[in-house]
Amino acid sequence: AQSVTQLDSQVPVFEEAPVELRCNYSSSVSVYLFWYVQYPNQGLQLLLKYLSGSTLVESINGFEAEFNKSQTSFHLRKPSVHISDTAEYFCAVSDLPSNTGKLIFGQGTTLQVKP
């Protein structure tokens, strides 16, 4: 069975500092990986995804994630965070065996950006 583990429940960081949110997955088949962000009182929004090809994927707001098959990781990074990046971040894997597209999520990481 596939699973996702987000290693940090909360990550406090000062504005303009770099940040890494860690995500490890477990799967016996090929994986499709996603990062979703949930801002306060809003629905989840896709931040970026890895399906195939380049192992480094980027979002439009400066986040990037690297698929590392040997370490079964998909960590999310940003070189300089803003106050507006404060949100809950969820790593997810697509449940390929079911072919429905259902997502298996990690527990989430709260990013708290301080001024």
Residues found near another protein in the complex (CB under 8 A): 4, 6, 9, 32, 36, 41-46, 49, 51, 90, 92, 94-96, 98-108
Q: How far is Cα 18 from Cα 49, in angstroms, rounded to an integer? A: 21
Minimal distance, residue 10 CB to another protein, in Å: 11
* Residue 7 or 15 with smaller CB distance to another protein: 7
| Residues 18 and 24 sit within 8 Å (Cβ to Cβ) | no
The backbone torsions φ and ψ at residue 9, rounded to the nearest 5 degrees and listed phi first, read -80, -30
Cα distance from N-terminal residue to C-terminal residue, the chain: 41
Minimal distance, residue 109 CB to another protein, in Å: 10
Minimal distance, residue 115 CB to another protein, in Å: 26
* Residue 77 or 108 with smaller CB distance to another protein: 108
* Residue 37 or 113 with smaller CB distance to another protein: 37
* Alpha-carbon separation of residue 65 from 6, 42, 59, 114 (angstroms): 14, 23, 9, 22
* Residue 28 or 100 with smaller CB distance to another protein: 100
